[in-house]
Amino acid sequence: MRAFDEDPSIRWLFVFTHPDDELGLCAWIRRLVRAGASVDVCWVHDVPVRRAEAAANARELGLSEDRLHFLSGSDGRIAEEMPDLWPKLREVVRRVRPDRVATIAFEQGHLDHDSTNLLVHRSFEGPVFEYPMYHPYTRRIQTLNRFADPYGEEVLPLSEEECRLKKRLARRYPSQNIHSVLLWYHVYRWLILRPVHLCRTERMRLKTWSDYLTPNLPPRLRAEVLRSPAWARWERAARAFLSLADSP
Q: Is residue 42 part of a domain?
A: yes
Count the domains in the chain.
1
Q: Is residue 3 part of a domain?
A: no
| CATH number where 36 lies | 3.40.50.10320
Give pLDDT, residue 193: 63
Q: Answer yes or no: are the C-beta atoms of 45 and 77 closer than 8 Å.
A: no
**Mean pLDDT over the full length of the chain:** 93
Q: Is residue 83 part of a domain?
A: yes
Taking the C-alpha atoms of residue 182 and residue 144, their distance in angstroms, rounded to an integer, is: 9
Taking the C-alpha atoms of residue 31 and residue 7, their distance in angstroms, rounded to an integer, is: 11
pTM score, whole prediction: 0.94
Q: Is residue 53 part of a domain?
A: yes
Q: Is residue 5 part of a domain?
A: no
**For residue 73, what are the CA distances in angstroms to 81, 113, 157, 205?**
7, 12, 33, 26
Q: Is residue 79 part of a domain?
A: yes
Q: Is residue 2 part of a domain?
A: no
Q: Is residue 223 part of a domain?
A: yes
Give pLDDT, residue 122: 97
**Which parts of the chain have pLDDT scores under 50?**
none
Q: Which domain, by its residues, includes 169?
A: 11-246
Q: Answer yes or no: are the C-beta atoms of 200 and 158 closer than 8 Å.
A: yes
pLDDT in tens, 23-71: 999 999 999 999 999 999 999 999 999 999 999 999 999 999 999 999 9
**For residue 102, what are the CA distances in angstroms to 29, 49, 67?**
10, 24, 15
Give pLDDT, residue 185: 66
Give pLDDT, residue 103: 98
